[in-house]
Structure 1
Amino acid sequence: MGEGEQRSFDASLDRSEGFGERLLGGLLDRAHEIPPQLVGPMVAEEVGRIGGRDVSILLQDYDQLTLTPLPGRKLTVGEPERIDGSAAGRAFLQEVVVEQPLAEGVRVFLPLLDGGDQVGVLAVTLDSADDDDRRLLWRLAGLVGDLLTTKNGYTDHFSRVRRREAMSVAAEIQWSLLPPLAMTTPRVSVAGILEPAYDIAGDSFDYVLNDDILHLAVIDAMGHGLNAAVLATVAIGAYRHARRTDVGLAELYVYMDTAINEQFGPEQFVTAQMSRLDIATGRLEWVNAGHPAPLLIRDRRVIGRPENPGTLPVGFGGSQPKISELDLRPGDRLLFFTDGLVEEHRAEGEQFGEERLIEVIERVGPGGGNVREAVRTFSHTLMRERGGVTTDDATLLLVEWHGGRADHLATPRT
């Protein structure tokens, strides 16, 4: 407020604490000090206050194949549920409430959302569910998603639950570098996936939304194993450092190139794509440094590859980047990927190839749903098409520009 201004205040407003506020407020009051392992029991206790029982918190595994129950006092722990074909999986993928009738009530599955990313699913059994129950549980699930994300920074508890097999040291490094796997906003959505999840090494991606500019990077460090992971770590670190100084794409490329060259010499390099998308206008700028060109998807069909003059991979030293531009239409999607996806050989020895990639995208695209569901479907379908074989890292990063405005989200709902 400016000097001398006073905030208007309506003394007639009802500020008494209702049942829903008491329930969610009690959770918030304790959230800042509760240890991570007690998040589940605390949630189960709160759900019990509205007559809920058999509470389960299901977390997505690293392969994005199953939802695994979080163990804890007062929590119901059963077998992991497949994401495909289950009620919990439908709630997870489509970000909707799913109700499953039971002999003695109804099982309600709610997505645990955090910034558009999916943490997992909250499952609760009620005698019956009305609109008040659904509204309260939806808000509770949102709070639980935020809690799990926040507390994850203080514990290995949740990460251990998500693991279905042993993870390599290189993969451990790469997963620690990643941003959230998905982000959904009114103007733009992003979702990525890495494979093989438990043995990834040189592939990585990064994104961030600064005001109206979405910054994106996809990298593929040469080699395999721990050395590739170290190379990728320096590349992502240099990218973030330059990006946070608010330089343009040309300066950003030069900074990354210099950092890799000085640390590793010209014998080691990183292929990369660095992009900037103005989410207010749809104008995309990008540098392609030795990477496969992305695919432009419009109306669920691949309409082309936005080609640009090639720039040397990051690390050779001294190259001047070539920047290209493209104007997107609302609803356009861009699929960025690394060469491990198309250079893999099928069981009969034939290379998978980009034409086959496009055929799969157009075949499964119409049922792909939101970008998070679509990129997961693409990855798992491609894996099956290759006979489950992955001898190199592979990354998919899918971006959809929606257009429109988001100012209304800053206005309180009445």
Structure 2
Amino acid sequence: MGEALLGSLLDRAHVMPPRLVGPLVAQEIHAVGGSEIAIFLQDYDQVHLQPLKGEGLVGERVLIDASLAGRAFATDTPVEEQVPDGSVRMYLPMLDGSDRIGVLSLSLPGVNDVDRRLAQRLAGLVADLIVTKSGYTDTFAQTRTAQPMSVSAQLLRRALPPLTMTNPDVELAGALEPAYQVGGDSFDYAMNGHVLHFGVFDAMGHGLGAAAVATVVIAAYRHGRQIGLELPALYAAMDQVVAEAFPDRFATAQIGRLDTERGELTWINAGHPAPLWVRDGKVIGELTGTVTRPVGFGGAVAGPMSVRLEPGDRLLVFTDGVIEERLKGGEQFGEARLRQILEQIGAERLPTAETVRRLSHALKAARYGRTSDDASLLLVEYKGPPKDDELATDIPETSTGHFNRQRSAS
């Protein structure tokens, strides 16, 4: 049945119109005995899970922090619920690689480990279909949009990489606030061989003008990175591009490289607050050193700095909007509050994606919802040297489960 179910979807995937992704998934699950199928997508500020609409699909909007579907999403772990009629309700995180897309939910008369394995693979396939088809439709973006989005936020969202990435060497997650109105903050990254490249940027000003600068900064960063420029030359190239394209504007930047074989982190700080260095859930220091001018003034020369990380160390890069927001009494939010909240959440030892989601929401709540400036986060965790030769291939079991029995009976 596994081949029949997954194969049927794969065979039709390349010609499947986006509008039929949900209905055809529901159709295939119904055919093998599943019911009450729901496909939830996270909204852009990661507060709710929004149900995809379509024939054969059910589901209502739910809070991530107050639902079983939300628990599966937040933990990247399947959740099961015993229903009074004796059936089992399954909530399966939909991951595209390691990027959290949403949750697939379905009910079965009963489940065993084979069913669970197949259901997880099905959830992964649905995630892949949604990501692949998203380039050709507004359907999934409309489902994810819980409130009106500004043009500047639309422009930046299109330029961003996935918000999360996980592999055996490193984890990474980012968040932009305010999610639906962000103007000038952005980030980018790439894992090339055993080296993680990352950058966090904050363009001068607000609105569409700042977003335009931010997208050019991302493009200049990617171009320099892809042609192999070292950090000082990459900084100089970005500086020149922004100076020529926007003579009256600039952008602060933090660009870095993490060599996962040696744990060596090298970075250039062009006007950002110093990143926080976290170990065992505690802030052990800042990545201090020479701060060079923001990109766009032209002619500056930047010298990189470096440190050696230990496995498990985390680095929080953030823009000034996180700590410079003024509270109701005029007091600045400040780095001390950021450290306190980061350590409170870090004590739970959550994956980077969930740490950033909770941190972003906790910071917003501590600022009483005030976001007069963009406030963005990028959390990087060094997991240790590569272990490519130790990676093993999981061999699937050949025993049968409910899906198989249902297919045989039908």
Once the two structures are superposed, the pairs formed by residues 312-327 of structure 1 within 5 Å of their partners are 312-327=293-308
Q: Measure, in 2, the Cα distance between the counterparts of 1:244 and 1:235.
A: 14
Tell me if structure 2 keeps the 8 A contact 1:289–1:312.
yes
Aligned to 1:30: 12
Structure 1 pair 85/342, CA: closer, same or farther in 2 (3 Å)?
Answer: same
Q: Measure, in 2, the Cα distance between the counterparts of 1:368 and 1:169.
A: 36
**Partner of residue 298 from structure 1, selected from 271, 279, 301:** 279
Which one-letter code corresponds to 1:348 in the other structure? Answer: G
Q: SS of the counterpart of 1:72?
A: coil
TM-score, with structure 2 as normaliser = 0.94
Q: SS of the counterpart of 2:66?
A: coil
Q: Percent identity?
A: 52
Say which structure, 1 or 2, has more relative contact order (CA 8 Å, 6+ apart).
2
Q: SS of the counterpart of 1:74?
A: coil
List, as ranges, runs of 4+ consecutive aligned residues in structure 1 with deviation greater than 4 Å.
Answer: 408-411
Q: Measure, in 2, the Cα distance between the counterparts of 1:343 and 1:311.
A: 20
Structure 1 pair 410/364, CA: closer, same or farther in 2 (3 Å)?
Answer: closer
TM-score, with structure 1 as normaliser = 0.93
Aligned to 1:287: 268
Aligned to 1:250: 232
Aligned to 1:88: 69
**Partner of residue 46 from structure 1, selected from 18, 24, 28:** 28
Q: SS of the counterpart of 1:121?
A: strand
Q: Measure, in 2, the Cα distance between the counterparts of 1:410 and 1:177.
A: 33
Structure 1 pair 401/138, CA: closer, same or farther in 2 (3 Å)?
Answer: same
Q: Measure, in 2, the Cα distance between the counterparts of 1:199 and 1:58.
A: 23
Q: SS of the counterpart of 1:367?
A: coil
Cα root mean square deviation, aligned: 1.2
Q: SS of the counterpart of 1:335?
A: strand
Which one-letter code corresponds to 1:221 in the other structure? Answer: A
Q: Measure, in 1, the Cα distance between the counterparts of 2:55 and 2:102.
A: 19
Which one-letter code corresponds to 1:177 in the other structure? Answer: A
Does 2:343 correspond to 1:362? yes
Residue by residue, what CA displacement relative to the aligned partner does 1:224-248 show, whole Å, maximum 9, x if unpaired? Answer: 1111011111111111111110110
Structure 1 pair 138/32, CA: closer, same or farther in 2 (3 Å)?
Answer: same
Tell me if structure 2 keeps the 8 A contact 1:297–1:303.
yes
User: Structure 2, unaligned stretches of length 5 or more?
Assistant: 396-410
Tell me if structure 2 keeps the 8 A contact 1:368–1:377.
no
Aligned to 2:382: 401
Does 2:196 correspond to 1:211? no
CA shift for structure 1 position 310: 1.3
Which one-letter code corresponds to 2:237 in the other structure? Answer: Y
Q: SS of the counterpart of 2:373?
A: coil
CA shift for structure 1 position 268: 1.2
Which one-letter code corresponds to 2:357 in the other structure? Answer: R
Does 2:379 correspond to 1:385? no
Q: Measure, in 1, the Cα distance between the counterparts of 2:387 and 2:116.
A: 26
Aligned to 2:79: 98
Q: Measure, in 1, the Cα distance between the counterparts of 2:38 and 2:90.
A: 10
Tell me if structure 2 keeps the 8 A contact 1:328–1:401.
yes
Q: Measure, in 2, the Cα distance between the counterparts of 1:282 and 1:33.
A: 44
**Partner of residue 122 from structure 2, selected from 140, 147, 158:** 140
Does 2:182 correspond to 1:200? yes
Aligned to 2:292: 311
Residue by residue, what CA displacement relative to the aligned partner does 1:86-135 show, whole Å, maximum 9, x if unpaired? Answer: 11111111111100121121210000001101000000011222112111
Structure 1 pair 65/284, CA: closer, same or farther in 2 (3 Å)?
Answer: same
